[in-house]
Amino acid sequence: MRRHEEGATPTDRDAESGWEVVHPLGGTSLDGVRMAGFRDRIAAGLDLRVLPQPSVVVVIELGGNPVAVESATGNQPMTSLVASLSPGPARIRGERIECVEVCLSPRAAYALLGVSPRELDGSVTALDDLWGRHERRLREQLTDATTWHERLALMDGFLTKRASGAPPMSPEVAAAWDTIVARRGRIRVGDLATSCGWSRKRLWSRFSAQIGLTPKRAAMLVRFDHAARALRAGRSPSDVALACGYSDQPHFHRDVLALAGCTPGALADRAASAD
């Protein structure tokens, strides 16, 4: 394994896979922000199906090799991208990838992206469409940096600066999202509305505008994320459906098909092949 620079730490997944994966030592300066540097050390190539998850994912490619993003809108080369909470069927391919990846909680995404999350729903978007010249300058700085420590520090500083003038999410919306996460998606919209003192209609409107999904869809997404993690860990679809609180197997099948575009069994097989 390649030695990592001081100020950044590797994960334990890169030795066998050929991927160098580096995290900032001590985490990041902002709540709801995780980041890592990735480098394809043995030219293994990337072929990744994008799954919905409770984070908005930002990727900035630094090796001069744009990734190919296949989605419902066609096939596009991108040097940087944003995948929304529920990006729809999408696949990312690339060679000799070297990039910084940032995962944003919905609250962080609302503050940092500069657009309404609703505009990103169901898509993988080019980051320069959102950040324009700021994205281009940031990518140049990240590419010129010689160590992962410097790159991750630059990324952290850029996001911290953007956050300084960012609009805050409504406390009621933030609390509703936190409740959905804490309950692993197993909560009724009516109970959410009651907990924040709003009508269902007002919660639906404000939550959708600031999170990018309806409360019902958000709960569905969070539950799916726990189910997908359990499937990747090797648990059977029937066990996962029961543990994650789905009413029955058809309910689990419908939700996975709606979010991942495949059956629970196919999702489990896909996870096994990726390992």
Distance, CA of 62 to CA of 141 (rounded, Å): 10
- What's the distance, Cα to Cα, between the start and end of the chain in Å? 19
pTM summary value? 0.89
**Is 2 within the bounds of a domain?**
no
Looking at the structure, do residues 219 and 158 belong to the same domain, yes or no? Answer: no
Looking at the structure, do residues 184 and 151 belong to the same domain, yes or no? Answer: no
Residues 6+ apart with CB under 8 A from 133: none
Summarize pLDDT for 22-80 with one digit per residue, the tens: 999 889 999 999 999 999 988 888 888 888 999 999 999 998 889 999 987 778 999 99
Q: In the structure encoding, which two tokens stand for residue 128, read together? A: 């320069």
Which CATH number do you get for residue 124?
2.60.120.10
Task: Tell me how many domains the chain contains.
Answer: 2
DSSP characters for 14-69? Answer: HHHH-EEEEEETT--SSTTEEEEEEEETT---EEEEE---SSEEEEEE-SS-PEEE
Q: In the structure encoding, which two tokens stand for residue 122, read together? A: 């169901």
Summarize pLDDT for 231-246 with one digit per residue, the tens: 989 999 999 999 999 9
**Is 3 within the bounds of a domain?**
no
From 149, 164, 179, give the residue that closes a domain: 164
From 132, 164, 196, give the residue that closes a domain: 164
Tell me the residue ranges of DSSP E strands in 149-248. none
Left, alpha or beta for 101 (phi > 0: left; psi -120 to 50: alpha)? beta
With 60 as the cut, is the pLDDT of residue 218 above it?
yes
Say if residues 46 and 68 touch (Cβ distance below 8 Å).
no
What domain range includes position 207?
171-274
